[in-house]
Structure 1
């Protein structure tokens, strides 16, 4: 979905006030659901989620955490709902699958480690274990109570924070923020911005660790532009800003809703516009896996990785989790 403009317009915007009663009902139901006890996982479960609807960098964060887990001697397996895919799972993501089957994010995760998609998270966790997992890295699902989390990180886009601080549909929060804090073991703050700093301040006041991070372009040659950039992610503007900060000259940008299934007419329009502008086309990894092969061959892909400012602080939290596991806490 596209984020309504009033979500960024402040807590007192008339549309937000008008939707407040519906938001109260939605938030109360979500909070009750989030508080339910979940099934224990067969090994430690590290969740990368966010407070709000939309993207914040969860998938790059999940990849970074899994890499740390491997460095610590664990065998991580990714677990995802497979949003946007037709398969309910549990199923291991493989080369035979496309975004229409399992969603776009699991395809990216599966490039780094075994990945499972499952709408039934406990069943998915069991499959992860059968694949040799000694740790499960769950992409999204913070508010889903079905599988207990050993450690849950809330990934926050520092540029937007929690926007107007209201619950959907009056704002982007999935559950009132005060009801989410007891479930959080750490905040991963991506980028810079006053909105994110406000969330970080509240986290620190509650004794919740804050891990600062940034998204860094990985091995991209952006000097051969100009570029026509397009993205169908939670916040396309973040992608465009990353390109500009990396020195790319943008002749144009096009935004689409998150997880958008691209139609032939849209791709033809992009190609025509790029030709008119004398530009090359560039998009995100997440968008690229949703493109038909004939068009994907014409598109440059910007890969990004998440880098922590203080990786040791994250590593200490993960080490404590694995030490509990090796001491016999988990079956």
Structure 2
């Protein structure tokens, strides 16, 4: 589904009418997160958010994993596998699993580290540990208490902030922002400098300021006629990135986050691209949901987390590395 427009507006009548349900949702979440979790014998890092939908968690997980590897550690990623049918725990194998089985994000992450899909995060953590992981990285899970966390990162889209500030279904938040950030050790705010500067956080925490930047692949985007489609939290960000690279953006289609790429939909997208004389292009996350026969016909623009100052994250990961038997960076 697409987020209702009123979630991003100042609170109005619809938000007010739905606020009692939002208060109930918030109380339910508060009771859930207060439950004790399983304490593993290795550190657990959680990359989550307080905003429903995409905020940039997956690129942040990638950055965390890469920096753990640089510290001599063996991270194992645990994901609930949103959109996948397997309950797990199961280790993701791109050779036999597709997005229908395990979800798109686990497939994407499996390219850089072992990934376990598990609806029961504690079972997923135990499976990753049994397979040799010396640090567990939770992809999402800030509101899930199944595992005791040693480091919690909350990712925030600086351009969206906290929307109208209300909790589901009155607004886009999984819990009140101040409550969720109070459990965070580090905030990761993503967006351009102007949005970063005006974003006010209700709780003071160490803050990593970053942006999602295109990965250099040598692809000559400048002047290339493209037809872009994306099923991520904010497809407009992907379209803006293509324009910033100089691509000739002849058409766009914004899909719902994790929307299945059915044959009729792909056929329609292909026809639109052909009529516009443009090359289809999509995100890395959407690309793993494409049928194998079509992957060579659709260009992919991958993005990665980029920061001017990695200090806040590196200091936190250095402490994790020491606890896990690795070594600080450098």
TM over 0.5: yes
Alpha-carbon distance in 2 for matches of 1:50, 1:83: 15
Per-residue deviation, 1:229? 0.3
2-side partners of 1:156 and 1:182: how far apart?
14
Cα distance in 2 for partners of 1:307, 1:41 equals 31
Structure 1 match to 2:125: 125
- The one-character-per-residue Cα deviations of 1:144-190 (angstroms, maximum 9, x if unpaired) are 11111111101111110111111011111001122212210111111
What does residue 26 of structure 1 align with?
Answer: 25
CA offsets 1:62-115 (integer angstroms, 9 cap, x no match): 000111111111111111011111111111101210001100000010000111
Which residue is equivalent to 1:41? 40
Change (3 A) 1:36 1:7: same
Q: Give the TM-score taking structure 1 as reference length.
A: 0.94
Match in the other structure for 2:71: 72
Q: Which moved more, 1:291-300 or 1:115-124?
A: 291-300
Query: Structure 2 vs 1, CA of residues 126 and 304 (structure 1 numbering), >3 Å: closer, same or farther?
Result: same
CA–CA distance in structure 2, aligned partners of residues 221 and 110 of structure 1: 27
2:215 is aligned with 1:214? no
Residue in 1 that maps onto 2:51: 52
Unaligned runs of 5+ in 2: none
Structure 2: distance between partners of 1:296 and 1:33: 41
Contact 2:51–2:173 (CA<8 Å) still a contact in 1?
Answer: yes
Length, aligned pairs only: 323
Contact kept in structure 2, 1:162 and 1:199, CA below 8 Å: no
2:202 partner SS:
helix
Gaps of 5+ in 1: none
Which stretch shifts more, 171-180 or 221-230? 221-230
Cα displacement (A) at 1:199: 4.7
Cα deviation per residue 1:253-310 (whole Å; 9 max; x = unaligned)? 1011111111211111111111111111000011111111222221000111111221
- The CA distance in 1 between the partners of 2:105 and 2:132, in whole Å, is 21
Do the aligned partners of residues 247 and 224 (structure 1) sit closer, same or farther apart at CA in structure 2, a change above 3 Å counting? closer
Structure 2 matches for 1:103-114, cutoff 5 A? 103-114=103-114
Task: Give the C-alpha shift of residue 197 in structure 1.
Answer: 4.5
